[in-house]
Amino acid sequence: MIGVGKTTLTKLISDHLGTKPFYEPVADNPVLPLYYSDPKQYGFLLQIYFLNRRFSMIKSALADDNNVLDRSIYEDALFTEQNHLDGNISDQEMSVYNELLDNMMSELQGLKKKAPDLMVYADTDFDTILYRIKKRARPYEQFENNPSLRDYYHKMWAAYKQWFDDFDKSPKMRVDLQRWNLEDPKNQEVVLSMIDDKLAEIRGGNHGASIKIA
């Protein structure tokens, strides 16, 4: 979910494990502001843009044992399906997207490493999400005068909970970034220790891993 703290957590893990971070393309995404201004016109274009970038990122990340992604191809369909339900993507566009995604996922199965070692689900309550979106002040993300955008955020926040329950591509863990607010260095140590413990459980004590943050 946007505003939950993925970028901060990704940098912490990357620095901690001495790994390469892969960040979601936001600042250099020319389609994202267009989408926020007119979701129905740019919904499909945005999802194809993200899908292409996420496919490239995860192929690069899985080529090495020790990388961290702040978002990945595995959750891309969650956003596309919501855009489809909201009428921003047509049935035909959804069909094209699903065929393309299936082809990409099939190609990933041909790689030596086929999935991340661990998926870390960053979670907070919805009010915290809204507070952090306001605090980082990206103009096109602001919702105070846009109730439909606020509703969209809430739908995605709720959908992610079910997505986490259903995710089965790799081992997974949930981190409560409301309880363990990463602005506190002591909380950073706690969260990194929890991730270390989970990686040790998965990899028999070897903490190097490819990780994705959701």
Q: What is the DSSP string of 118-176?
A: EEEEEE--HHHHHHHHHHHT-GGG--TT-HHHHHHHHHHHHHHHHHHHH--SS-EEEEE
Question: Is 107 annotated as contributing to ligand binding?
Answer: no
Check: CB of residue 5 under 8 Å from CB of residue 132: yes
Question: Is 186 annotated as contributing to ligand binding?
Answer: no
What tokens appear for 49 in the block? Answer: 């843009």
Of 171, 166, 142, which is closest to residue 81 (Cα–Cα)?
166
What are the distances in angstroms from CA 147 to CA 6, 83, 111, 173? Answer: 24, 16, 43, 32
d(CA 199, CA 15): 16
Question: Is 184 annotated as contributing to ligand binding?
Answer: no
Question: Is 133 annotated as contributing to ligand binding?
Answer: yes
Q: How far is CA 75 from the centre of its chain?
A: 6
Question: Is 152 annotated as contributing to ligand binding?
Answer: no
d(CA 157, CA 214): 11
For this structure, is 70 an active site residue? yes
Question: Is 142 annotated as contributing to ligand binding?
Answer: no
Beta carbons within 10 angstroms of residue 84's beta carbon: 20
Which member of 28, 64, 70, 184 is catalytic?
Answer: 70
Question: Is 24 annotated as contributing to ligand binding?
Answer: yes
Left if phi > 0, otherwise alpha if psi is -120 to 50, otherwise beta: which for 5?
left
Question: Is 132 annotated as contributing to ligand binding?
Answer: yes
Question: Is 135 annotated as contributing to ligand binding?
Answer: yes
> Residues comprising the binding site for substrate?
24, 36, 47, 71, 76, 141
> Which segments are annotated as binding site for ATP?
132-136
| Residues designated catalytic | 70
> Binding site, residues?
24, 36, 47, 71, 76, 132-136, 141
